[in-house]
Structures are given as C-alpha cells and as structure tokens.
Structure 1
Amino acid sequence: MITRKLIKSSEEYASSIFDIKLNEEDKLLTKDELIDKSSDCDGILSSLTEKLDADVISKLSDKVKIISNFAVGFGNIDPDAAKKRNIIVTNTPDVLTDATAEIAMLVLLGAARRAKEGIEWVNKKNWKWSSTFLMGKQLTGSRLGILGMGRIGRAVADRARSFGMKIHY
C-alpha cells in the first residue's frame, strides 16, 4: 500500500512489479482507514504525514511485514511497537540533502538579487532603466551564517562557497 501520491512514473513502476494499492485521492488517511486499507498488504509505503503510532501498529494485519517511510526520518512511526510485531521500518536518509541545499541557494539568490520584484516588473512590462534599479546584494564576499552543520548545512556551505561566500557556523 502506498499512502500518498507519488510521481506517475514511480507509481507505474511500482505497479509493474507489485500488486499495489494506491491512495488515488491523495488524502490523509485516518488511522482506521490506514488499518483497514492495509489489511491485505505485505507492506506500507508511508509519508511523514501518516502517524503510525503504537495503537495503529498494534492493529495492523499480521500480513504487514515492512513499513517504508519516504522521509528522511521516522518520527511519525513508533519503531519499538513495530519491532514488537516483527515489522521492519525503513526510511530514506539523505534523500533530500541536495534538493534542500539547492532550494536554500534559490531563496538566498532570489532574496539577494530581488528576483521576485524583478519578475513582477518584467511581467508588468513597466520598468524604467536606472543604474540602481533592483541592484540587490552581491553574494561574493558576503557572510553566510549556518545554524547546524549537518548534511544539509554542509551541502549549503559547499554551494555558498562556490559563490565566494564566507561561511560561519
């Protein structure tokens, strides 16, 4: 059972090798719906939105052998309750490190260079040239403070260094 929509190609691939139950409406399932819909499934592919706590896990069918969480952590799953039921729990650590670092740089560049304002002016087709128009801030030589130098922090720092930024953490 896949609890939330995936990209179409992933759903098609999974369906080609497994007998899959999809959440076609992509709605958050209640605890009772999750228990009911997974009753004849060998595994559950959950997202971080599903709370598989001890109560839910205790009511899952004996057929369920694995809960795979497509999220970096598994704070939404009670691993001790799963272990008591001999259910394997997996997650996808590090899957979002690069994507998150890239988005952090997108936000940083967008803010520094006033991208939102620039796009609005282009769409309105109503700008007048000026040497200081939407000047923004140059990243080269700027300082970037990073709180937490874990996987994502290091990935952001690597990208920021390529812009000549000074990193502080």
Structure 2
Amino acid sequence: MNRRILQVGPLKPSLATTLAERYDALVLPDDDTRAVFLAEHGPAIGAAVTTGRVGVQADLMTELPSLGAILNFGVGYDTTDVEAAAARGVLVSNTPDVLTDCVADIAIGLAIDTLRGLSAADRYVRRGDWSKVGNFPLTRKVSGKRVGILGLGRIGQAIATRFEAFGCPIAYHSRREVPGSPYSYAASPAELAAEVDILVVATSGGSRTQHLVDRKVLEALGPDGYLINIARGSVVDQDALVELLRDGGIAGAGLDVYTEEPKVPQELMSLDNVVLLPHLASGTVETRAAMEQLTLDNLDRWLADGTVLTPVPEVQQP
C-alpha cells in the first residue's frame, strides 16, 4: 500500500500544516505545473485529503493509480465521484455528526432571521430609517409555523428537534420513509412544500438531488412560504428561486449555499426578504476543530489497517 498523502484544494490552515509536518503530504498544484507534478508523484499517492468544495473527480483518480482513500474534510462529498471511487476500490470518508449541531443551529437562525427580518431591521437602524421613516414593518412569527424538512438524516433530524421546541408541526420527505419517525411523511418534495410554511433543505448534494427543489416545488411553497437552504446550492433551481423571490412567488429565503460559490446572484443582494450567508453553517471554532480531528483519525486508521472510521454510504469498507 502506497502511503504518500496528497492535499487536494485549500484546507483549514492548521490541517494543512499538520498534513505537511506530520505526514509529509504533497499539495496538488492548481496551475500549469499540475501535469508535470502528477506525472512525477501521481503513482506514489495512496490517499488524498480534500473538502466538499473541491473533491476528487474521476480524471484525477486516473492520474493516481495507487489511490486507496479519499478523506473529505466536511460532511458533503458531492464534488467527489463516489461511483468512480467505488469502481476503483477507493474508500471515501467524510466527517458526519461532529458538525450536526452547528448546521442545525444555523438553519434555525436563518429561519428566525428570514421570517422576523432581523438582518433587514439591523440595516434599517444603521441607515437611520428608524428615526427618519418610523417603525420597521411587521414581520412573521416563527413559533407554530408548519415546517417541512427535505432530507431527514442526521442534520435534518437535529433541525426538526429544534423546531419542535418552537411548537412547530413537522413533516418531511426523504428517499424513503424513516421507520419510527414521529413526523408526517410526504410522498414528494412538491407535496411537502404544499403542506408547510417553512421548507428546510437538508438533503445531500450530487447528481441525484440536482434541482430536487425545482420551480414546481417552489410554486407549491407559495407566496406565504419560506425556503431555508443549508444543504447544497445544486439542490435548488436557483434561477427559479431568484425569479420567485423577486416577483413575490415565495415570501422569503434564508440561504447559506449557492449554485456557483462564492458567486451570489446580484438580484438577491437588494432583497430584504432574503438572508445571505457565506456557507458558514459548520464554521465555529469547536466544530471545525472536531472536523479536523476526525479527518486525521480517518487518515490514521487508513494508514494503520486500510479502513476508515466514517466511510460514506456509497462506498463500503473492504
């Protein structure tokens, strides 16, 4: 088993430093020296460490013939071609659980901010409009709203639990019904959207969920409905979302993710019914430290016995 480590894409600085100093890791160039680098070092690489924003695609795997593991810093891994990895016998790991609470907290924060207009009200005060114009317009109550969770996995379940504390009835849609769940199951995303006031997108990214929230779903949510997305930008038809937000087709949205990050549609910038975050749901000191440690633990396990602690479901352990 080749044991050379390759860093693919930018990483948390402390993780990159540890990989370099403790594991003598190489860093994949992103310039015109990449081909020469891969020709020289590619055959010796045994494991790649990357993030959900960069990943490892099939063409790079081809350049790494001895690759045995792709270790992902983050819970999302849709930028890695897991089918190609499985076909080549390459393990893929991610960092689940350790970021569940922080992502769920942000979902709640986005919902409160979007419905109550907190960010817009902050701007209102800073502009001096409170004294010049008068009281801020009335907003919408969060407690008691009907909430739909699209994707009742670890994070979706944590979000649902938090909304329960607000007295919110919960419904959900997943690829399959969750046994023993106390929440109402909707047969499709559109059916779920039609039944709720707040639709929270918490499903995984990738080709299987591309535009799962399409125009039909957004129109089912309707002019009194709110969309919260802490999953992946690819899950939502962003063009349709922008149009409906602009024209009153839905009431508002809280977004932590976008189709082409860090690019955010200019039309969203001026809308006070939209809260825009820079993909920061897991961005706390505590959670990023835990993600870093789990990434290193996965790497150490792979170096020790060729397995990983937290393999992604699509790629099974040997």
| Coarse TM-score class (shorter-chain normalised) | 0.7 to 0.9
The answer for unaligned runs of 5 or more in structure 2 is 1-5, 173-318
Q: Is it true that 1:4 corresponds to 2:9 in the alignment?
A: yes
In the TM superposition, what whole-angstrom CA distance separates every residue of 1:56-86 from its partner, at most 9, and x where no partner exists? Answer: 4233143x43221234354523223331xxx
Residue of 131, 136, 140 corresponding to 2:139: 136
Q: Is it true that 1:81 corresponds to 2:84 in the alignment?
A: no
In 1, Cα distance between the equivalents of 2:92 and 2:120?
Answer: 45
Give 1:167 shift: 1.8
Given residue 23 of structure 2, which amino acid in structure 1 is its aligned partner?
A: F
Residue of 59, 62, 74 corresponding to 1:58: 62
Q: Which has the higher contact order (CA 8 A, sep 6+)?
A: 2
Does the 8 A contact of 1:58 with 1:81 survive in 2?
A: no
**Structure 2 equivalent of residue 21 of structure 1:** 26
Tell me how many residue pairs correspond in the alignment.
161
In the TM superposition, what whole-angstrom CA distance separates every residue of 1:27-78 from its partner, at most 9, and x where no partner exists? Answer: 599x85784485243321123333431x54233143x432212343545232
Given residue 117 of structure 1, which amino acid in structure 2 is its aligned partner?
A: A
Label 1:153 to 1:123 Cα distance change in 2 as closer, same or farther (>3 A). same
Q: Which deviates more from structure 2 when the two are superposed, residues 106-115 or residues 132-141?
A: 132-141
Label 1:155 to 1:80 Cα distance change in 2 as closer, same or farther (>3 A). same
TM-score, length-normalised on structure 1?
0.73
Label 1:134 to 1:21 Cα distance change in 2 as closer, same or farther (>3 A). farther
In 1, Cα distance between the equivalents of 2:149 and 2:99?
Answer: 18
**Structure 2 equivalent of residue 45 of structure 1:** 49
The answer for unaligned runs of 5 or more in structure 1 is none
Does the 8 A contact of 1:35 with 1:56 survive in 2?
A: no
Give 1:117 shift: 1.5
In 1, Cα distance between the equivalents of 2:36 and 2:119?
Answer: 42
In 1, Cα distance between the equivalents of 2:40 and 2:99?
Answer: 28
Label 1:5 to 1:168 Cα distance change in 2 as closer, same or farther (>3 A). same
In 1, Cα distance between the equivalents of 2:117 and 2:123?
Answer: 10
**Structure 1 equivalent of residue 150 of structure 2:** 147
In 1, Cα distance between the equivalents of 2:38 and 2:166?
Answer: 50
Residue of 71, 75, 100 corresponding to 1:72: 75
Label 1:119 to 1:23 Cα distance change in 2 as closer, same or farther (>3 A). farther
Does the 8 A contact of 1:44 with 1:68 survive in 2?
A: yes
In 1, Cα distance between the equivalents of 2:141 and 2:71?
Answer: 43
In 2, Cα distance between the equivalents of 1:79 and 1:146?
Answer: 30
Does the 8 A contact of 1:114 with 1:134 survive in 2?
A: no
In 1, Cα distance between the equivalents of 2:11 and 2:154?
Answer: 25
Given residue 45 of structure 2, which amino acid in structure 1 is its aligned partner?
A: C
Bigger-Rg structure (1/2):
1
Give 1:19 shift: 0.6
As a proportion of its length, which structure holds more strand?
A: 2
In 1, Cα distance between the equivalents of 2:104 and 2:36?
Answer: 36
In 1, Cα distance between the equivalents of 2:120 and 2:55?
Answer: 38
- Identity value in percent: 28
Does the 8 A contact of 1:82 with 1:89 survive in 2?
A: no
Label 1:137 to 1:34 Cα distance change in 2 as closer, same or farther (>3 A). farther
Say which SS state the counterpart of residue 170 (structure 2) adopts.
strand
Q: CA RMSD in A?
A: 3.3
**Structure 2 equivalent of residue 160 of structure 1:** 163
